[in-house]
Amino acid sequence: MELTQEAIYIDMQEQETKLKYQIKEQRKKVSNEYKARHKTLFRAMDIAIVLAILFNIGAVILTNALIAKTTPGLVICEANPAQTLLNGFQPVDDSKPIYFGFLVHIAVLAFIVGTYIYQRNTVTNQAELFAIIVTVLILIIGCTLDFSNDLGYWIGKMIWH
C-alpha cells in the first residue's frame, strides 16, 4: 500500500511536533542540571539583582528626601490623578507627565527583572551564563554608582523630561 503525499506530510508534521516537544523537555533537563551545578553563582546573582533594584529605589527616595530637605517650604502634592480625585489631595499642575515617568520607570524595572528570570531559567551553556553574569554586573555597578555620581540624574532626565 502506497502512501499519498498528504499522508506523508501529516506524518512528518506529527514527527516534527514530537521532536519539538522532546527538544523542549531536554532543554529543561539540561538547564536544571546546569543550575544545580552553579547553584551558588545563581544565588549570588539573585541577591545582586535584588540589591540593584533596592539601590535604584533607594536612590530615588534619597534624591526626593534631599530635595525636600533643601527646600523646606516645599508643598508636596499628589502625582497620581486617581488619588487626587478619590482622597481630595492637591494635584500637581503637570501630574500626568510625572505619573507617566514613574510608570515608565516601574515598567523598565519589571522588564529587567522579567528578562533576568527568563534567562536564568533557560541557561544551558557557558556563553549564556557569561551573558547573564555580565548583564547583572553592569546593572549592579550602574545602580551602585547611582549613589555617588549623576547617573540617576541623567536617567531620570531622559525618562521624566
Query: Which of 147, 62, 148, 161 lies closest to 104 in space, CA to CA?
Result: 161
Give the pLDDT confidence score for residue 142 in this predicted structure. Answer: 74
Q: Name the residue range of residue 80's domain.
A: 38-160
Summarised one tens digit per residue, pLDDT across range 138-156 is 888 877 766 555 555 566 5
Give the pLDDT confidence score for residue 15 in this predicted structure. Answer: 95
Residue 67: pLDDT above 90? no
Other Cβ atoms within 10 Å of 86 Cβ, number: 10
Give the pLDDT confidence score for residue 55 in this predicted structure. Answer: 80
Task: Note every long-range contact of 128-137, with CB atoms under 8 Å and residues 24 or more positions apart, other chains counting.
Answer: 129/34, 129/38, 129/41, 132/45, 133/41, 133/45, 136/45, 136/48, 136/49, 136/52, 137/48
Residue 18: pLDDT above 90? yes
Question: Do residues 66 and 16 both lie within one domain?
Answer: no
Task: Note every long-range contact of 123-131, with CB atoms under 8 Å and residues 24 or more positions apart, other chains counting.
Answer: 123/31, 123/34, 123/35, 124/27, 124/30, 124/31, 124/34, 125/34, 129/34, 129/38, 129/41
pTM for the model stands at 0.63
Higher pLDDT, 66 or 49: 49
Residue 64: pLDDT above 70? no
Contact 132, 44 (CB under 8 A): no
Contact 122, 31 (CB under 8 A): yes
Question: Do residues 21 and 70 both lie within one domain?
Answer: no
Give the pLDDT confidence score for residue 107 in this predicted structure. Answer: 85
Residue 54: pLDDT above 90? no
User: How many domains in the chain?
Assistant: 2
Q: What is the mean pLDDT of residues 108-122?
A: 88
Question: Do residues 92 and 110 both lie within one domain?
Answer: yes
Contact 99, 81 (CB under 8 A): yes
Question: Do residues 65 and 96 both lie within one domain?
Answer: yes
Question: Do residues 17 and 28 both lie within one domain?
Answer: yes
